[in-house]
Amino acid sequence: MNLSSLPLIALALTASGAPFVLQSSSTSAPAPAQTPAARLTPPPANTVGVDGVSGNRRAVAGSVGTTSEVSAAFPCVARLADQAGGCLEASSDATLGMLYPLSLDLFVEQATGSVGLGTLSPDRRLSVVNDLANEGLATFDNPNAAGFSGIYFEENGEGRGWAGHVNDASSFGAPGTMQIGSQFDDLVFSVDDTQFFVERMRITTDGDVGIGVADPGGKLHVDGLIRSGSEAGTSQSPEVQGGAGPAYMGIVTRRVVSTNNAVGQVIARGPTLRLERDGTPGGLRIVWGSTVEAILSVHGYAVTQAGALLPIREWGFNQFGGGSLQITDNADTVVSLHLSFGNYHNSGHTTDVVINRSSLSSSWIGIVHSTYDQ
């Protein structure tokens, strides 16, 4: 708008609280003075700036309000100010409200009203960009010991979930923990490199867990192969715990693929005992170290190529001498072995082995279950 083509409007300042009188200064006959219904309170120093021409506050062309943001009692510096100490410009665009597009620090897209922090191209209602190494995007901090340092998710005002830290004195539930929670609905984990929302794991409201299953039929329901422990077996050193005692008190299950019949190749182990190759295709033995007090318990059976059943039941005592116990001889042509072994001196662990081979092969293939980390 070209203000030079319009008649000038003079705002005559009167005593505090009295109305302003608006009067035309054109060369035509002056119109009668009009007393407006609203009152304008002058800013500090009784100056009013119109479109930045004069005064110590700026206003963008548009409707002039009668609010107290420009009053001496409520300086805009104490409310919403720019870095120079002046008021932020007000926008005449209703979509933007009172925020005027500024810079990367704070940007409001005029067409959509989307807000960008650190970006001039917000692609959501709020987009945050912080291009700094080893830095995050936002900090959520509730210093109250009974508080929740996190965020809530709602749908039409109804709670749907939360994510954050439950502070130590909180009554929210499980204080002192990080939580990702779902309210009323199953919690789904989605991971995929080609498209969005491909379900990989689900925790139902009943507490059942499904991996690859959207409707788990038990506490853990997995669609696919389950592996635990190591498949290497033959290359592991006997003392995997470093002699510090058991560090794993669950159940380890692993596959056995033993193709090397060299002496000492391990099939399975407990804390002090190990089942290993004796250097022949079909020969297996239990071995313990020279510093181990071995009180053996070995039970099971072997099946020969001819179908004969060879029972195995051995127990023995060895006072820190080290030693070995032959389980199968190569000459027996054993093709299947079912064996359970342990050391009564370490009675907290037992190891069960089921392995098979062809009589013409030196490879043993099977499975190990153990309470000791394999």
| Pairing between β-strand 309-314 and β-strand 9-12 as defined by DSSP bridges | unpaired
111 Cβ contact list (under 8 Å, min separation 6): 95
More confident residue, 202 or 72: 202
Question: What pLDDT score was predicted for residue 19?
Answer: 46
Per-residue pLDDT reduced to its tens digit, 306-350 = 999 999 988 877 767 788 999 999 999 999 999 999 887 766 678
Report the pLDDT value the prediction gives residue 250, as an integer from 0 to 100: 58
What does pTM read for this prediction? 0.45
Q: Which of 180-184, 198-202, 225-229 has the lowest mean pLDDT?
A: 225-229
| Location of structure tokens 């093709």 | 335
User: What's the mean pLDDT in 64-68?
Assistant: 34
Please compute the mean of the pLDDT values over residues 245-263 and round it to a whole number.
74
State the burial class of residue 249 (Cβ atoms within 10 Å of its Cβ: 0-12, 13-18, 19+). exposed
- When pLDDT is averaged across residues 290-296 and rounded to a whole number, the result is 80
Buried b (16+ CB within 10 A) or exposed e, 26-62: eeeeeeeeeeeeeebebbeeeebeeeeeebebbbeee
Q: Tens of pLDDT along 101-110?
A: 456 677 878 7
Q: What is the 3-state secondary structure (H, E, C) of 56-79?
A: CCCCCCCCCCCCHHHCCCCCHHHC
* CA gyration radius, the chain: 40
Provide the percentage of residues in the chain whose pLDDT is more than 90: 37
- 345: helix, coil or strand? helix
CB 327 within 8 A of CB 285: yes
**Three-class SS of residue 25?**
coil
Under 8 Å between Cβ of 288 and 323: yes
Among the listed residues 261, 190, 257, the one whose alpha carbon sits nearest the alpha carbon of residue 229: 257
